[in-house]
Amino acid sequence: MPRRYWLLKTEPDVFSFDDLLAAPQQTSGWDGVRNFQARNFLRDDMKVGDGVLIYHSRIPPMAIVGVAEIAKEGHVDPTQFDPRDHHFDPKSKRESPQWFQVDVRAVQKLARPVTLEELRGLPALKEMALLQRGQRLSVQPVRKSEFDFILKLAKSRAQ
DNA sequence: GCCAACGTTGGC
DNA sequence: GCCAACGTTGGC
């Protein structure tokens, strides 16, 4: 099975790439995802060693800011059972959990953020999920060509 | 803060 | 199973 590539969105005021770098072993559970399509990627498709782009949404500058990798494959997201947690799901039963997470380990911060604005209009990325109209999935597959292109972009125009 | 896009819920 | 109402995402 060849290595696959993904993009994970996060709101940096909630959890940023710097927070991931500061975590023990630079690793964190990617919990709180409450969308079935995204859940299926987390539970079924992500494998240890897969490459991950971390994207900051909502707070400007919206940008891809770092690279990570899958450190642990899909396992139960405990926040679904915690009534005090923002992501609590009263419909989730312990014997049949609905929501899953992976563990993600930081690999490197990009030399500079690659902004959404910059990504738009690049022919090499015109099919990238992040850039499609109306998309809002927080867990997205990324092509190897797109992953490599973005890493090169971050280096080539680094200040 | 606005609102388009889209996912989910629930009445029927 | 349909679909209107509602809630959320996330760029602007």
pLDDT score at A158: 54
Residue A71 domain flag: yes
Q: What is the mean pLDDT of residues A126-155?
A: 94
Share of chain A above pLDDT 90, in %: 83
Q: What is the mean pLDDT of residues A122-147?
A: 94
The strand pairing partners of A68, in sequence order, are A52, A106
Q: Are residues A31 and A87 in contact, defined by beta-carbon separation less than 8 angstroms?
A: yes
**Residues with Cβ < 8 Å from A89, sequence gap 6 or more?**
A34, A80, A98, A99
Residue A158 domain flag: no
pLDDT score at A85: 87
Angle at A53 between CA A39 and CA A155, to 5 degrees: 175
> Torsion angle of alpha carbons A88, A14, A143, A130, nearest 10°?
90
Residue A55 domain flag: yes
The pair phi, psi for residue A45, each rounded to 5°, is -110, -25
State which residues form the domain around A116: 5-144
CATH code for the domain in which residue A65 is found: 3.10.590.10
Residue A119 domain flag: yes
> In Å, what is the separation between the CA of A63 and the C1' of B11?
42
Residue A156 domain flag: no
Closest residue to B6 measured CA to C1′? A134
pLDDT score at A152: 95
pLDDT in tens, A46-80: 999 999 999 999 999 999 999 999 999 999 999 99
Residue A108 domain flag: yes
> In Å, what is the separation between the CA of A62 and the C1' of C12?
12
Nucleotide nearest to A137 (CA to C1'): C9
pTM: 0.94
Chain B positions with an atom below 7 A of a protein C-beta are: 4-9
Residue A155 domain flag: no
Tell me how many domains chain A contains. Answer: 1
Cα-Cα-Cα-Cα dihedral sign, residues A97, A44, A110, A9: negative
pLDDT in tens, A87-108: 888 888 888 899 999 999 999 9
A34 touches strand C (CB under 7 A): yes
d(CA A97, CA A94): 5
